[in-house]
Amino acid sequence: MTKKSLLLFFTVLLAIAAGPTFAQDAPAYPAATDASVFVFNTTLFLISGMVVMFMAAGFCMLEVGLVRAKNAATICVKNIALFSIAGIMVWLLGYNLIYGVAEGGFIGKFGIWGADDADWAQTGYAASSDWYFQMVFVATAASIVSGTVAERVKLWPFLIFVAALTGVIYPIQASWEWGGGWLDAKFAFADFAGSTLVHSTGGWAALAGALVIGARDGKYDQTGRVHAMPGSSLPLATLGTFILWLGWFGFNGGSQLALGSIDNAIAVAKIFVNTNMAAAAGVVTALVLTQLLYKKVDLTITLNGAIGGLVSITASPLEPSIGLAVLIGSIGGVIVTLAVPLLDKLKIDDVVGAIPAHLFCGIWGTLVVPLSDKSASLIGQLVGVVSIGVFVFTISFALWYLLKLTTGVRASEPDEQIGLDKAELGMEAYPEFSPA
């Protein structure tokens, strides 16, 4: 035996000893045991993260299409600013708060994340790729908020709220489950890609904001009548929805957290299919339901049908059969269709319909998990939904209220009248087209 053949022998031996064994992977392809596993896992995070990052553009287009032209530039500022702030806050605080938690614990570590790839051999992926993926998730939660409180929240207080949400509020509750904290350890709470941890969290924060800030001037009059304030560009809102749909393949698919084996590749593929089918079912349901209820199809509700379907399947996109995924998404479509008038009855002014789509469908998606995932229990799911809801809503409400008392959270009446673009930015989104 030459030295090289000995090296070969021990290299492969080591690989088989140390790497995961996939005996069940059948004869045709033995499990990969070399660096390709690591590269696949890292690539999954990076590619998934890229399309989730692009969801920031999706939210921006959805929101800019659903606000009036006089607030369109401001919503653009908010969206690119919140994505930027999320990145910085997750670096400074968030990541270690999420993943620095002790097993079964309530809060992680404070401190800057160090981009440490030293323990790659244990993780099986580049630490930076995971950070990137988690960071874009956090930004998603913040994007949800901006749509609800659009057209009247002041820019800087909103950005302060975003910093707190992405640096502290989201990370603490996420640590309870994804960091291995108490929800994961004691209640086997199951939330695969974040129906509750991301979408309901964003929704609760948005609801708190809507309550503290109040409705737009003129949205609800004294007699209780609702005055529609139609969005300025439904094509951009539609584009935004398509971008979100695209991004969701990364959102849910990437949450498999691994790609480098046959089992993982099949899982990611199944997730893609279920994710798509839930969205499709949400769209078709919203189409049919608005036709039946209002005798006309409603584009905005249809778009929210897609998002409602997507949020609903996010808590468990792998386990359900396709038929169940269709059902879950379809009920998501029902929820957004029925909840929009409900919120109006409660005079909760949610400009883009984010509360129905992200909060209500997030709860629905989380509670339905035990139907397909036998490791989850309805009790465990309820504990997760309620505890995260109480935590996020309470802290968010307190923070919005504190901002109201200090900086103020709401544009002045004249500013709201002329629009935040002129008032806060001194510019117009469409200077040549805006109605005089």
Site for a copy of itself in 277-296 (CB under 8 A): 277, 279-281, 283-284, 287, 291, 294, 296
Chain-centre distance of CA 112, in angstroms?
Answer: 23
What residues have CB less than 8 Å from 378, skipping those under 6 apart? 367, 370
Smallest distance from a copy of itself to CB 289, Å:
13
Cβ proximity to a copy of itself, 7 vs 386, nearer residue: 7
Q: Does 224 bind a copy of itself (CB under 8 A)?
A: no
| Closer residue to a copy of itself (CB): 236 or 395 | 236
According to CB under 8 A, which one of 147, 157, 214, 253 is a site residue for a copy of itself? 253
Site membership for a copy of itself, residue 260 (CB under 8 A): yes
The residue count of the chain comes to 436
CA distances to 43, 45, 104, 143, 361 from 62, rounded to whole Å, are: 28, 25, 38, 10, 18
Beta carbon nearer to a copy of itself, 330 or 366: 330
Amino acid at 266: I
8 Å CB contact between 428 and 73: yes
Compare residues 130 and 177 and give the one whose CB is closer to a copy of itself: 130
Q: Provide the sign of the torsion angle of the four alpha carbons 263, 95, 172, 410, taken in this order.
A: negative
Q: Is the Cβ–Cβ distance between 344 and 153 less than 8 Å?
A: no
Contacts of 345 (CB under 8 A, 6+ apart): none
CB of 49 to a copy of itself, least distance (A): 7
CB of 34 to a copy of itself, least distance (A): 4
Which one, 133 or 393, has the nearer CB to a copy of itself?
133
Do residues 188 and 161 lie in contact, with contact meaning Cβ atoms separated by under 8 Å? no
Sole binder of a copy of itself in the list 105, 107, 272, 404 (CB under 8 A)? 272
**84, 53 Cβ separation under 8 angstroms:** no
Shortest Å distance, C-beta 122 to a copy of itself = 7
Chain center to CA of 396: 17
By CB under 8 A, the residues from 74 to 93 that bind a copy of itself are 76-77, 79-81, 83-85, 87-88, 91
Q: Is 270 in the site for a copy of itself (CB under 8 A)?
A: yes
Can you count the helices (H) and strands (E) in the chain?
19, 0
The yes or no reply on residue 377 touching a copy of itself (CB under 8 A) is no
Q: Which of 93, 98, 135, 343 binds a copy of itself (CB under 8 A)?
A: 135
Determine which residue in the list 143, 241, 256, 316 makes contact with a copy of itself, applying CB under 8 A: 241
Instruction: Specify the DSSP class assigned to residue 383.
Output: H
Kindly give the residue spans of alpha helices, DSSP state H, lying in 192-298.
201-213, 234-253, 262-294
36 vs 375, beta carbon nearer a copy of itself: 36
Grouping H, G, I as helix, E, B as strand and the rest as coil, residue 220 is: strand
Span 7-46, contacts to a copy of itself by CB under 8 A: 7-9, 11-19, 22, 25-40, 42-43, 45-46
Distance, in Å, from the CA atom of 159 to the CA atom of 149, rounded to the nearest integer, reads 12
DSSP summary character for residue 215:
P
Q: Is the dihedral of CA 28, 31, 34, 37 positive or negative?
A: positive
Eight-state DSSP code of residue 226: B
Which one of 239, 338, 371, 383 is in contact with a copy of itself (CB under 8 A)? 239
Rule CB under 8 A: say whether 47 interacts with a copy of itself. yes
Residue 307 as a binder of a copy of itself (CB under 8 A): the answer is: no
**Options 116-124, 180-188, 344-352, 406-414: segment touching a copy of itself (CB under 8 A):** 116-124
How many residues at the interface with a copy of itself, by CB under 8 A?
Answer: 143
Given 50, 185, 371, 383, the residue binding a copy of itself (CB under 8 A): 50
Q: Is 146 in the site for a copy of itself (CB under 8 A)?
A: no
Q: Find the binder of a copy of itself among 93, 98, 127, 327 (CB under 8 A).
A: 127
Residues from 311 through 350 that contact a copy of itself (CB under 8 A): 321-323, 326
